[in-house]
Amino acid sequence: MGAFSSHNVGIGMALQPLLIMLLTIPSLLRTAVAGNPPFSCGPGATTKAYAFCDSRLPLERRAADLVARLTLAEKVSQLGDEAAGVPRLGVPPYKWWSEGLHGVSFWGHGMHFDGVVSRITSFPQVLLTAASFDDDLWYRIGQAIGTEARALYNLGQAEGLTIWSPNVNIYRDPRWGRGQETPGEDPTTASKYAVAFVKGLQGTSATTLQTSACCKHASAYDLENWNGVVRYNFNAKVTPQDMEDTFNPPFKSCVVEGKATCVMCAYTTINGVPACANSDLITKTFKGEWGLNGYVSSDCDAVALMRDAQRYSPTPEDTVAAALKAGLDLNCGNYTQVHGMAALQRGKMTEQDVDKALKNLFAVRMRLGHFDGDPRNNALYGSLGAKDVCSRAHKDLALEAAQNGIVLLKNDASILPLDRLAVESVAVIGPNADDPAALNGNYFGPPCETTTPRQGLQRYVKDIRFHAGCNSAACDFAATDQAVRIAGSSDYVILFMGLSQKQEQEGLDRTSLLLPGKQQSLITAIAIAAKRPVILVILSGGPVDVTFAKSNPKIGAILWAGYPGQAGGLAIANILFGDHNPSGRLPVTWYPEEFTKVPMTDMRMRADPATGYPGRSYRFYKGKTVYKFGYGLSYSHFSRRLVVSGTSKQTPITNLLSGLTVKPTAKGGASYDVEELGVDGCEQLKFPAMVEVQNHGPLDGKHSVLMFLRWPNVTGGRPVSQLVGFRSQHLKAGEKASLRFDVSPCEHFSTAGEDGRKVIDTESHSLMVDKDESEISL
């Protein structure tokens, strides 16, 4: 709930406007210091006659006009994430850094929870949301976060509307502490998530942004601190092939399809060049090939680290110049503000280099309506306020997201769902059973309300017998005897184990994939003592090696619940008792503990049999798994049948391919450069594929269909298989549906060569849904 509602004790309806005004005053004072106005270009402003205040003019002209009016010192003051105000031009200060990964966040400088609104909707951490394989759900979550951020801004509780989310890095290594923030290991999934979330966050208007989304951290960033190697000085050695078909696709989709207005460059040094000083990446790729209409920001202090940790440039002035000349527009931090003037004075960069960056920055602020007067008068978003934060619809959406993401991994003898009429007592054991912090993940804000698993189960069972079992998720100490006694005296036992932010987070990678401390021995002892097979619920970001539980008949069911957000406890309880049919599928491979022998610093995706390197992700990994990518059970039985109509007959394929450069393949076929085919040629190659799905019961439920492409011959660096797309559909018991997939050979059948160029070959390809395959030949 928000801090204010109509039933607050002693507050009558007539006093609500006064209370809102009083609570808004501290926020307004933040911008009213040093003569700074709360907003630009309002009625009566002395700058109204200037072009930058004229919303009828093109953005480029407005931004250029404002930049031209700034002094050199004023220009440099705009280059950090806390940009100074320019009172003489009516420009208020601005804070670029706000976060909205799975809800408006404490992290950053732009959002405040000290006014009318003190709480926001806290959705599940991203990896769990990704497990729903539902891009409509992802869009609606982005939309809700954008709405709440804009509402805070209208209330004077936000000093910026630039949201540095989503994180669309590929979850390359299961030990990565920030993998929880991402949509998983698959480039197609991450790309679709990026597009849906960004569109939701930024709103539907072609001219005015609800908020500005920033896709981070480009590129090949997925290591925090492993074996003495830290993210600040790690040189990621990445092949053009892996960059093209693994690390860059989500960022490309963010910009090209999602129309994101920001890309954040990572701390990573890529093949010897810091990402934030890489002109090929920033200027040639982001702004050139992809057509970014927005700005590029560094990760926080990444510019300073280019000199202090990476030793890329000899002086601070050289460092600032290298970043801006490469195309960087904004530095998270103040390094460019501190050293920018000296860099100009010493000829390391020019005023034009600064102007180019500022035009991009001010154009985004203008698209947010920051130079159109009072934001509360904005026709699209001005009415948003406290009523739009923690609304019933947003709370319901948080529950829906958690329920649709939770993955049922094991259900021996259909122990689940439980019958609430037959369950008299439940032992609820584990460090994550009644800890609200276990629901959050990282980059969270103050939730509207929180339901822990223990609280969720209390809605179904009166006799709950709780014991934490461990002192924390680290489980350095386990109260095994007490937990065993409680388990042995209860009808059912539900264990809530897993990880916490003390094992995985920004700045912290794991060294083991096993459950921490004494968790495994505690689980095993309780399972032996219990009257019937126990139920194990894992709350974690990253995957865990639970082979012992998978193979133990005394452990009847396993669920992965991620970090499920404010409604997580209710979502888990609803699934355990059958009020929601689980439909989540794993967005990452769950590897065995032996995978930890692979160095995190080895960036290669493809396996190398000659050295025993197993590869990474379902696309290239050649080793044992605990659970595979896309795995997930349901309480119902669903059947799927693949129907393919064949390739497009609008234009003969021979005509499309004639005159193109032909390269022979290893199997005697031919391959063609995708770029040479062009947009029109690729469009004419598209064809539909249908999947007929039926829910055979016994319960109604949602079902996600994942379609893959498989090559009969895995040569030339081809993946073992590649996700083509997914569709999610709710079906009543007995109901059928036909789901359409639009297959694009240029996108889905192409592979990256060693030089990074995408080629499509005429050898056999097979579309695959589960074990049902259809061969496609070009």
Q: On the CB side of 695, how many CA atoms lie within 13 Å of its CA?
A: 22
Q: Is residue 772 classed as helix, strand or coil in its secondary structure?
A: strand
> Please, which residues have CB within 8 angstroms of residue 571's CB and are 6 or more apart in sequence?
399, 402, 403, 406, 456, 561, 564, 580
Q: Are 627 and 581 in contact (CB under 8 A)?
A: no
> Tokens 């993210």 map to which residue?
231
* H helix or E strand, kind and range, residue 673: strand 670-673
Buried b (16+ CB within 10 A) or exposed e, 486-501: bbeebbbbbbbbbbbb
Angstrom distance (rounded) from CA 533 to CA 197:
40
DSSP 204-229: S-SSS-SSEEEEEEESS---SEETTE
Token code pair at residue 683: 């469009």
One-letter amino acid for residue 449 of the chain: E
Instruction: Find residue 739's DSSP bridge partners.
Output: 691
Angstrom distance (rounded) from CA 350 to CA 356:
10
One-letter amino acid for residue 544 of the chain: V
Angstrom distance (rounded) from CA 310 to CA 236:
12
Catalytic residue among 173, 186, 242, 299: 299
The interaxial angle of helices 335-345 and 351-367, nearest 10 deg, is 140
Beta strands in 88-222 (DSSP E): 94-95, 162-163, 212-218
Annotated catalytic, 299?
A: yes
Closest CA to 118 of 24, 15, 251, 219: 24
Token code pair at residue 678: 């062009």
Angstrom distance (rounded) from CA 657 to CA 676:
9
Angstrom distance (rounded) from CA 681 to CA 653:
9
Q: CA torsion 144→149→150→152, rounded to 10°?
A: 130
Angstrom distance (rounded) from CA 69 to CA 41:
15
Q: Are 325 and 357 in contact (CB under 8 A)?
A: no
CA distances from 670 to 605, 665, 760 (A): 25, 6, 8
CA distances from 697 to 133, 453, 535, 631 (A): 21, 27, 23, 19
Lay out the sheet containing 670-673: strands in order across.
662-664, 670-673, 758-761, 751-752
How many other CB atoms sit within 10 Å of the CB of residue 125?
29
Annotated catalytic residues are: 299
